[in-house]
């Protein structure tokens, strides 16, 4: 029993005095907590509307009974259109100039009194969070009243009528903006991780790094060459993944309605490609540093997995959709997060040139600093030979 306790103490002391082991043990739980906390926050924020938002609605034949809907404390309805034709109102909803159109059938109140069950039509645009939000409120109130025996009418029950006026392009942009940046960043990181973890740590583990370091080549050049080689290889994998993603999106989301990518032109794909290249090199530098600090491929893979959790967390910020895209330029100074956000804005066709430039320039600076740090590590005998 004494020997068992001795071994137990020895092993526990080794576990809890090794900071690398502690990171492996406790950091995943902390990051998972943060990830799910932020995920919930992102999802709830994507469904919220600014309480100060000024709504514009179109009403036709609005009965006095329902005029209070326009004065609801839940919404700030600043514009009420009454003189438009229905087609004009629909066009404005499609263009997001109006958030809602509510049309009551002619002689509505008399028909209700006579038990004729008149129609109420509510048109909205589901690609606009504000339009969808106010539509749900009006629909819930009116449909609840319309189901009463004493006040019977039909809400959005006309067959063959499309009350959601979101265009195919708007719907596609909404879905793609939420999904594509996250998947793309994960593809990029996975491709880099598979190669970088083995590249340097693998050579250290096999002992072949020594023969490379004794060659008459500046170690800064060795570090830079490795980063570039890994970046090119990872980029090839990333490009294939990107093409596969874009080609499969319409089929992938087919159950939610036909999607299209026709709204994306050559300049859009060029902007995406630039961000892909920059992001791949950032990932390669980060993972190369981890690989250099690690004593084995297994250790490098463990640390890289922890970084992957952080990447997942940052990638989830795209799930807030078009309305959740960061607008402040200083947020585009944050590595990885800036790539996710600028990809979201590109897919949403709402890219700011300033934010694009800030993303590219800041990431280039991080790449240069990372390569500099990597070259310093290559010059350290303690790091390179696990002393």
Distance CA 179, CA 183 (A): 6
DSSP H helical ranges for the chain: 2-17, 19-46, 86-94, 108-113, 129-146, 168-206, 209-213, 219-252, 266-293, 297-315, 337-347, 353-378, 381-384
Structure tokens at 312: 């997942």
Q: Which residue has the tokens 């066009």?
A: 91
Distance CA 180, CA 172 (A): 11
Under DSSP, the state recorded for 202 is H
The domain locations on the chain are: 23-46+168-384, 54-155
Distance CA 336, CA 234 (A): 16
Distance CA 245, CA 268 (A): 15
Structure tokens at 158: 């006309």
Task: Measure Cα distances from 341 to 27, 261, 267, 330 in Å.
Answer: 25, 19, 18, 12
- Contact in structure between 101 and 95 (CB atoms under 8 Å): no
The helix (H) or strand (E) run that includes residue 76 is strand 76-81
**Looking at the domain 54-155, which fold is it?**
D-Maltodextrin-Binding Protein; domain 2 (3.40.190)
Q: Which residue has the tokens 């609801």?
A: 72
Task: Measure Cα distances from 297 to 17, 195, 302 in Å.
Answer: 22, 11, 9
pLDDT tens per residue across all 387 residues of the chain: 666 677 766 666 766 666 666 666 666 666 667 666 766 666 666 556 677 888 999 999 888 888 888 887 777 888 888 888 889 999 999 988 999 999 998 888 888 877 788 889 999 998 888 888 889 888 888 888 766 655 667 888 887 788 888 888 888 888 888 888 888 888 888 878 877 777 777 777 776 666 666 667 677 777 778 777 877 877 787 777 777 777 776 665 554 556 777 788 888 888 998 999 899 889 988 988 888 888 877 888 878 888 888 888 888 888 777 777 888 888 899 999 999 999 999 998 889 999 999 999 999 999 989 888 888 887 777 777 665
Under DSSP, the state recorded for 124 is B
Under DSSP, the state recorded for 105 is P
- Contact in structure between 345 and 359 (CB atoms under 8 Å): no
pLDDT for residue 50: 73
Distance of CA 312 to the CA centre of its chain: 10
* Exposure class string for 327-353: b at 16+ Cβ within 10 A, else e: eeeebbbebbbbbbbbbbbbbbeebbe
Task: Measure Cα distances from 307 to 236, 283, 387 in Å.
Answer: 22, 10, 25
Task: Measure Cα distances from 143 to 55, 121, 129 in Å.
Answer: 21, 11, 21
């Amino acid at each position: 029993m004494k020997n068992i306790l001795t071994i137990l103490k020895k092993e526990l002391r080794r576990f809890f005095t090794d900071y690398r082991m502690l990171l492996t043990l406790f950091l995943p739980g902390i990051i998972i907590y943060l990830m799910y906390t932020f995920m919930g926050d992102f999802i709830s924020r994507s469904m919220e509307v600014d309480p100060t938002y000024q709504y514009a609605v179109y009403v036709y034949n609005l009965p006095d009974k329902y005029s209070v809907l326009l004065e609801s404390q839940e919404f700030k309805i600043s514009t009420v259109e009454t003189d438009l034709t229905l087609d004009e109102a629909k066009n404005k909803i499609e263009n997001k100039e109006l958030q809602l159109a509510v049309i009551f059938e002619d002689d509505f109140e008399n028909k209700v009194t006579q038990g004729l069950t008149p129609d109420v039509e509510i048109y909205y645009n589901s690609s606009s969070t504000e339009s969808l939000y106010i539509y749900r409120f009006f629909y819930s109130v009116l449909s609840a009243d319309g189901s009463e025996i004493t006040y019977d009418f039909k809400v959005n029950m006309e067959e063959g009528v499309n009350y959601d006026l979101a265009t195919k392009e708007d719907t596609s942009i909404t879905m793609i903006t939420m999904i594509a940046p996250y998947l793309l960043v994960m593809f990029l990181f996975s491709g880099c991780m598979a190669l970088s973890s083995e590249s340097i740590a693998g050579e250290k583990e096999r002992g072949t790094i020594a023969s490379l370091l004794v060659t008459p080549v500046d170690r800064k050049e060795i570090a830079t060459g490795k980063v570039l080689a890994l970046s090119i290889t990872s980029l090839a994998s990333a490009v294939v993944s990107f093409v596969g993603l874009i080609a499969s999106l319409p089929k992938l989301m087919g159950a939610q309605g036909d999607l299209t990518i026709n709204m994306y032109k050559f300049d859009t794909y060029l902007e995406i490609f630039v961000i892909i290249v920059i992001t791949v090199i950032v990932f390669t530098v980060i993972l190369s540093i981890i690989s250099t600090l690690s004593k084995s491929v297994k250790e490098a893979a463990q640390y890289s997995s922890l970084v992957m959790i952080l990447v997942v967390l940052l990638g989830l910020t795209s799930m807030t959709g078009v309305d959740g895209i960061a607008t402040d330029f200083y947020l585009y100074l944050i590595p990885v997060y800036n790539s996710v956000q600028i990809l979201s804005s590109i897919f949403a066709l709402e890219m700011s040139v300033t934010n694009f430039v800030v993303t590219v320039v800041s990431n280039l600076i991080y790449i240069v600093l990372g390569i500099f740090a990597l070259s310093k590590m290559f010059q350290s005998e303690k790091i390179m030979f696990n002393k």
